[in-house]
Amino acid sequence: MIQAYFNIFAIFAMMFVGYFLTYKKWFDRHTADVFSKMVLGLALPFEMFITITQKFSRTEFLQLISGIIVPILSMVLAYFASKVVAQLLGVDKQRRGTFSTMFTCSNTIFIGLPINMAIFGSRAVPYVLIYYIANTTFFWTWGVYQISKDSQTFAGLDNVPQSFGLMDGLKKVLNPAMLGFITGIFWLLTGVKVPLALANFSTYIGSLTTPLSMFIIGITVYFLGLRTLKLNKAIVGVLMGRFIISPLIIILITRVIAIPDIMVKVFFIQSSMPIQNSVPILARMYHADVEFATATLGYTVLSYLAVVPVLLAIMQLI
């Protein structure tokens, strides 16, 4: 556990490097956009492809994909839990859609993937993606719809439409990372060995995923403006959802649905990640409460390092 924590600290050290280099004007918002495109459009697809083709057999893959029911069920339960918590805390109605989305959906790639690789190594990548499939599908469909609903009541913008582009959401789900995963699956099922040159190229490109992802988080935290973050009961509710309720739901579900031990632990870690980076952007797009979304992103990212030792200790017991 101690070794895993130091591995995670090394990952977060990259985030601090990203923060510092942004402070020194090496990086800016455009840099974050470029890095995001590189991770999602280049590094991660090759990471998925090489991991699937090199780390798994056909039989292992079929066992892997059957476990997707666990994250799907956990997010449905977490969503309903968010409604109960919002009611108990008296979260403002104009924040409840955004609140539920942040409560339910986690940052499975930019933080989740590096953290899981720090703990479990590259063997965790396919399990990370299984959770990512469920999380991303939920976020870019129902989650975005919930954020768009807040626009009706926030700041008196009663005429803002509730609708959002469903096809745009589906395009987010079927992104290059997912296509890299699918390509790896088909290659695996053919039984053809990946040529050495392609394997080496994929490994080199895929290794960019972790440092670039953490640089993105560092840049994001810098531009959030730490001094402007204000804690309130709604943010506390999201912190409860991310770090307590969501991982607890995973534990309970996996007591009923049997899946491999490493899958349980990866899902547990994935369920306790900070919120999605995209939430403040979507809040701005749909005229929801941008300040609330931005402050919540800052608090979940910055508090995660303190939460990690507790999560690792619990993980040893499940």
3-state helix, strand, coil in the chain (%, to 5): 80, 0, 20
Q: Is the dihedral of CA 135, 140, 142, 143 positive or negative?
A: positive
The confidence band for 123, taking pLDDT boundaries of 50, 70 and 90, is confident
Taking 80 as the threshold, does the pLDDT of residue 284 lie above it? no
Tokens of 140: 């870019």
Q: Which of 64-78, 120-134, 219-233 has the lowest mean pLDDT?
A: 219-233
Cα 95 from Cα 232, distance rounded (Å)? 12
Percent of residues, the chain, with pLDDT higher than 70: 91
Taking 70 as the threshold, does the pLDDT of residue 164 lie above it? no
Cα 307 from Cα 269, distance rounded (Å)? 11
- Residue 158: its pLDDT value, please? 47
- 3-state per-residue secondary structure call for 180-204: HHHHHHHHHHHCCCCCHHHHHHHHH
pTM above 0.85, yes or no: no
- Residue 157: its pLDDT value, please? 47
**Selected residue with higher pLDDT from 152 and 49:** 49
Taking 50 as the threshold, does the pLDDT of residue 161 lie above it? no
pLDDT, mean of residues 185-212: 89
**Selected residue with higher pLDDT from 53 and 151:** 53
The confidence band for 190, taking pLDDT boundaries of 50, 70 and 90, is confident
**Selected residue with higher pLDDT from 252 and 295:** 252
Taking 70 as the threshold, does the pLDDT of residue 163 lie above it? no
Cα 274 from Cα 107, distance rounded (Å)? 6
Q: What DSSP state is assigned to residue 26?
A: S
The confidence band for 254, taking pLDDT boundaries of 50, 70 and 90, is very high
CA atoms within 13 Å, Cβ hemisphere of 99: 25
DSSP string, 38-80: HIIIIIHHHHHHHHHHHH--HHHHHHHHGGGHHHHHHHHHHHH
- Residue 140: its pLDDT value, please? 80
Taking 80 as the threshold, does the pLDDT of residue 5 lie above it? no
Torsion of CA 252, 256, 258, 261, to 10 degrees: 20
Q: What is the pLDDT of residues 10-22, one digit of tens each?
A: 888 888 999 999 9
- Residue 159: its pLDDT value, please? 44
Cα 195 from Cα 217, distance rounded (Å)? 34
Please report where in the chains the tokens 């130091």 appear, as a residue.
6
Cα 208 from Cα 108, distance rounded (Å)? 17
Contacts 24+ apart (CB under 8 A), 118-124: 118/4, 118/7, 118/8, 118/10, 118/11, 119/4, 119/7, 119/8, 119/265, 119/269, 119/312, 120/262, 120/265, 120/266, 122/51, 122/55, 123/55, 123/262, 124/262, 124/266
Taking 80 as the threshold, does the pLDDT of residue 7 lie above it? no
Number of neighbouring beta carbons within 10 Å of residue 182: 15
How far from 59 is each of 48, 56, 64, 92, 191, CA to CA, in Å?
18, 8, 9, 49, 12
- State CA 290 to chain mean position distance: 19
Q: What is the pLDDT of residues 68-113, one digit of tens each?
A: 999 999 999 999 999 999 999 999 988 999 999 999 999 887 788 8
Residue partners of 187: CB distance under 8 A and separation at least 6: 49, 52, 53, 194
Taking 90 as the threshold, does the pLDDT of residue 185 lie above it? no
Tokens of 100: 């539920």
The confidence band for 31, taking pLDDT boundaries of 50, 70 and 90, is very high
Mean pLDDT score of the chain: 85
